Structure 1
Amino acid sequence: QLESDRGRLEATQRRSKEIQAEMDKLAAERERINSRLVETGKLIQQSEAQMGLIESRLGELETQERQIRGTLEERHGSISALLAAMQRMGRNPPPVMVTQREDALSMVRSAMLLASAFPQLRGEAVALAERLNALVGVVTSIRSEGEKLKAETTRLNDARVRLAGLQETKRQSLAERQSELAQVRVAAADISKSVSDLGDLIAKLDKEVAERTGLGTYDQEMAAREQEKQRAAAPGKQITERKSSAELAPSSDRVAMLTPGRIKPAMPFVEAKGQLPLPAHGRRVLTFGEKTQYGSQSRGLVIETRYGGQVVSPCDGWIVYAGEFRSYGQLLIINAGGGYHILLAGISQIDVQLGQFVLTGEPVGVMSAAAKAALPKTQESGPVLYIEFRKDQRPIDPDPWWAEASRKVQE
């Protein structure tokens, strides 16, 4: 009997070690996938920002080119006279029109030759040469920026292909949870049809997701932490409270925010102020508290993004809603714990699942990929992303949470 019991114990210990090894393997794989997802999302947004700068420079250069060509056209009469004189100077006259960079260079040389041969025309020839030199410089710069744009576009497309592969790998890694996540999706679909108020939607979905994910446990931890803070309010307990906060908060905020294997927030959301990235690169068109076109105050931040722009999660949290909802269109709601929610609306394609835990900087969706064909180019504007922070169901100003680098987004 003793030998039999010892054998069962050893078998149990071996199985326990095997299970632990498998869990460690899964954790390492999750860390690897998450790390690459966050890294690729960052690379895509950096590439989008670089393309925006290149496109801006190209726009300025093209404006300069139009202005220079316009000036040349306005002085067509005097230039024609100069050209006629040039034509009389030799068998190989310069071109009458500037269509290529080489044409402009030929005209510059001829103008300077004319200036030396006919002193009375020197002023006119020098002025023409200066304008043509400026045109040559602008055209050369346009070519250079165009090559940079082409190379950056290739890098961006390559990064997007890598991202698609990583997202598919992550979807497969969540396969064992598909049954419970499917139940959450069914419940969410029913709830979204039965409520018209966003607050009711969030409250009911929080309950559904909390019952089936780590959100429930995390909420309990946060509630216990809040109770501890209240008990520590007495002067004699301040040291204990400070120690408790230090233990809960990571020693290095930046390192903690990038720990890829975590399955719950790296720190309480309230302690992440000044550290969160904006979800998308673009231009702020409306900030919290500003008047909207309808006369009401904005309850969030609106960013005009580039077409097909990458959207990332601004924080750690659980996806409690992902889909269409009333006038919001495609809506993504992230529960960051502690009564905080982040709403992202205006996304064209959502790439995460209901109930999924996402990391700060993890790609969650993509903005609309194309402009409306009916709009003239002068009236085109990029798609807009609406970002709203809520604390206990009340909209709050998100600005204190953005990292310094994110604050430099185009105003």
Structure 2
Amino acid sequence: MGLALAGAPLAAQQDSPAALAETALAQFDAAHEKLEAAQSATDRVKALTGVVQAYEEGLEAMRAGLRQVSLREAEIAREFEDESGQVAALLGILINLKPDASPEALVHPDGPLGQARAGMLVSSVTPAMQAQAEDLRVKLQEVQILRELQDEALQTLSRGLSEVQRARTELSQAMSDRTDLPHRFTTDPERMQTLIDSSATLEAFASGLAVMDVVDGIAPLPSFKEDMGNWPMPAPGRLVRSYEEEDGAGVARPGWLWATRPLTLVTTPWPATVRYKGPFLDYGNVIVLEPANDVLLVLAGLDEVYGDVGAVVPAGTAVGLMGGASPDLDDFVENAVQGTGAALSETLYIEIREGGKPVNPERWFANAPL
């Protein structure tokens, strides 16, 4: 790309909107290379999971870059408007003060002395005017660079929005085709359906699932006693409602409500057995993972869920996808520039149960949003 702010200090270049935009473009290029490499990867699920996450990071960087570019361009426009008025006023004064060598000026009451003073004043102001003109030239050059970056970003963004959707589709298919995961048990569909039908709440369903007998198979789960509190979040986002915090209707749930962007990939933070996946009541799709005996991780509100019941999935494995619609190019740019819309509009419910009882998720996740 090679676009840099000429004459700007290195530190300022690194923190500039142009640098942010270039970073976003580089992340999209890296994601594109990962997508091409995933076609021949031995573990396509792992490769495609990395591709989707790379694109999600690139989209976040692109939002930040476009927003900062827009803000900087607006700032320069305001500076132009302010300075143009000052320059016009100063030029008017200088025109009136310009030296006049006509015979009439010599007999003016101010005489030659006034003309000399005017000339000295013009000479002293000239360097400042030149410096101001150079400053304006640099800013005009910066505006040109920002607009070139915007044009390049739009081309890359158009390709990125299309490719991330392609990667999500291929990941869903790869998960459906996967047969290489070990299984700890096989589920009894009739018993599972009976539990679903008899459970009036998600809490009742999770409690019943926790005590449902299973036959252990060949794949014991790793111990995580030393790693308790170090789990990464299942998806990027922010906390909307904490453990047992009441909502607007006065209902308190024993878990976190976590806001994400549309179509965000959800991954398991730890190796776990899939105990259940599918729709439940009004929670949307739910997946229940068992990272250890007597511990369940409940994730609800997904649009799609991946995996087979009884399978053991490694940490970082995609287990679902949030709902919502992918923004088109115009919507993405408008929302990024204005800093609105297409935001954290989807909600993931996160609940952890130990010994059949819910506990505060902050015990498990690193950098928990207390």
TM-score normalised over the length of structure 1: 0.55
Shift of residue 315, structure 1, vs aligned partner: 2.2
Structure 1 counterpart of 2:320 = 365
Structure 1 CA distance for aligned equivalents of residues 172 and 41 of structure 2: 9
User: Contact 2:255–2:360 at 8 Å: present in 1 too?
Assistant: yes
Shift of residue 290, structure 1, vs aligned partner: 5.8
Structure 1 counterpart of 2:139 = 134
2:207 maps to 1:199: no
CA change 1:325–1:120 in 2 (3 A) is same
Structure 2 counterpart of 1:55 = 63
1:106-146: CA deviation from partner (whole Å, max 9, x where unpaired): xxxxxxxxxxx987466456435424523532552464476
Structure 1 CA distance for aligned equivalents of residues 154 and 239 of structure 2: 24
User: Contact 1:348–1:367 at 8 Å: present in 2 too?
Assistant: yes
Structure 1 counterpart of 2:233 = 278
Shift of residue 355, structure 1, vs aligned partner: 4.0
Structure 2 counterpart of 1:41 = 49
1:244-275: CA deviation from partner (whole Å, max 9, x where unpaired): xxxxxxxxxxxxxxxxxxx6354135454244
Shift of residue 340, structure 1, vs aligned partner: 0.8
Structure 1 CA distance for aligned equivalents of residues 143 and 245 of structure 2: 40
Aligned residues: 291
Shift of residue 363, structure 1, vs aligned partner: 0.8
**Secondary structure of residue in 2 paired with 1:168:** helix
Greater CA drift, 325-334 or 117-126: 117-126
User: Contact 2:45–2:175 at 8 Å: present in 1 too?
Assistant: no
Structure 2 CA distance for aligned equivalents of residues 287 and 394 of structure 1: 17
Shift of residue 338, structure 1, vs aligned partner: 1.6
Structure 1 CA distance for aligned equivalents of residues 349 and 79 of structure 2: 44
2:289 maps to 1:319: no
Structure 2 CA distance for aligned equivalents of residues 141 and 351 of structure 1: 42
Structure 2 counterpart of 1:235 = none
Task: Identify which of 349, 365, 369 aligns with 1:402.
Answer: 365
User: Contact 2:274–2:309 at 8 Å: present in 1 too?
Assistant: yes
Greater CA drift, 341-350 or 45-54: 45-54
Structure 1 CA distance for aligned equivalents of residues 147 and 221 of structure 2: 46
2:222 maps to 1:217: no
User: Contact 2:207–2:357 at 8 Å: present in 1 too?
Assistant: no
CA change 1:345–1:127 in 2 (3 A) is farther
Structure 1 counterpart of 2:173 = 168
User: Contact 1:286–1:298 at 8 Å: present in 2 too?
Assistant: no
User: Contact 1:276–1:360 at 8 Å: present in 2 too?
Assistant: no
**Secondary structure of residue in 2 paired with 1:315:** coil
User: Contact 2:277–2:285 at 8 Å: present in 1 too?
Assistant: yes
Gaps of 5+ in 2: 1-39, 93-121
| Matched AA of 2:216 | T
User: Contact 2:270–2:315 at 8 Å: present in 1 too?
Assistant: yes
Structure 1 counterpart of 2:17 = none
Shift of residue 183, structure 1, vs aligned partner: 5.6
CA change 1:150–1:401 in 2 (3 A) is farther
Structure 2 CA distance for aligned equivalents of residues 188 and 40 of structure 1: 31
CA change 1:144–1:303 in 2 (3 A) is farther
CA change 1:41–1:358 in 2 (3 A) is same
Structure 2 CA distance for aligned equivalents of residues 83 and 324 of structure 1: 73
| Matched AA of 2:205 | L
Shift of residue 347, structure 1, vs aligned partner: 1.8
CA change 1:193–1:289 in 2 (3 A) is closer
Structure 1 CA distance for aligned equivalents of residues 246 and 133 of structure 2: 51
Structure 2 counterpart of 1:391 = 354
Structure 1 CA distance for aligned equivalents of residues 154 and 192 of structure 2: 43
TM-score normalised over the length of structure 2: 0.60
Shift of residue 391, structure 1, vs aligned partner: 0.9
Task: Identify which of 292, 300, 313 aligns with 2:255.
Answer: 300
**Secondary structure of residue in 2 paired with 1:49:** helix
| Matched AA of 2:351 | E
Structure 2 counterpart of 1:268 = 223
1:33-90: CA deviation from partner (whole Å, max 9, x where unpaired): 9954234323432442243133213212211211221332355545678999xxxxxx
Structure 2 CA distance for aligned equivalents of residues 51 and 312 of structure 1: 18
User: Contact 1:54–1:149 at 8 Å: present in 2 too?
Assistant: no
RMSD of the TM alignment (CA)?
Answer: 4.5
Structure 1 CA distance for aligned equivalents of residues 264 and 144 of structure 2: 29
CA change 1:284–1:122 in 2 (3 A) is farther
Greater CA drift, 158-167 or 323-332: 158-167
Structure 1 counterpart of 2:31 = none
1:344-393: CA deviation from partner (whole Å, max 9, x where unpaired): 123222233444432211111112243799x9966523223222211123
Structure 2 CA distance for aligned equivalents of residues 325 and 132 of structure 1: 62
CA change 1:337–1:63 in 2 (3 A) is same
User: Contact 1:42–1:361 at 8 Å: present in 2 too?
Assistant: no
Structure 2 CA distance for aligned equivalents of residues 146 and 299 of structure 1: 47
| Matched AA of 1:397 | N
| Matched AA of 2:280 | F
